[in-house]
Amino acid sequence: MMAERIGARMVALGDGFARGELDVTDDVRQPAGFLHGGALVTLADTVATIGAIGAAPPGRTVLTVNLTVAFTRPVRGGTIAAEARELHRGHELAVWDVTVRDGEGRLVAAVLATLSLRPWLTATGGGAPGGLSLTG
């Protein structure tokens, strides 16, 4: 699994809230020595998705529809923490924001994510007749 692969981990989960952490090691750096944006997004997308699964009715799959990241500070080391918060819970779409901070509490990125709450979709091909795939 991707999150485990890079060491991203959940540390708290509540109603409309989720928090995760990632250690900034060489495994998640880019060649210039900073944390790779993709590693930060892996953490942010994971916490938002797990938060949204927790908030959704049973039997829903959560897929990210849209994700925007504003990077505010390059990260060299330490541990980053991502706090995800539900902004909106609809029938079909949810919106979460995620703030990512470094070990000194400074903002390193702000994320806005729109998530789809979908019935029945599985990677192995199940789902209702007629299909409810993201793409039709």
CA distance 68 to 111: 6
With CA atoms as reference, report the closest residue to 27 among 73, 89, 77: 77
Is 39 or 81 the residue whose CB approaches a copy of itself more closely? 39
43 contributes a contact to a copy of itself by CB under 8 A: yes
With CA atoms as reference, report the closest residue to 114 among 96, 135, 133: 96
CB of 84 to a copy of itself, least distance (A): 13
Instruction: Scan residues 68-127 and list those touching a copy of itself (CB under 8 A).
Output: 68-74, 76, 87-93, 95, 97, 99, 106-107, 110, 112, 114, 116, 121-125
Q: What length does the chain have?
A: 136
134 contributes a contact to a copy of itself by CB under 8 A: yes
- The amino acid occupying position 116 is S
32 contributes a contact to a copy of itself by CB under 8 A: yes
SS3 state at 22: strand
Among positions 17, 23, 54, 64, the unique one binding a copy of itself when judged by CB under 8 A: 64
CA dihedral defined by 44, 67, 56, 136, rounded to 10 degrees? -140
37 contributes a contact to a copy of itself by CB under 8 A: yes
SS3 state at 104: coil
Give me the residues that bind a copy of itself (CB under 8 A), please: 1-3, 5-6, 26-34, 36-39, 41-46, 49, 61, 63-74, 76, 87-93, 95, 97, 99, 106-107, 110, 112, 114, 116, 121-125, 131-136
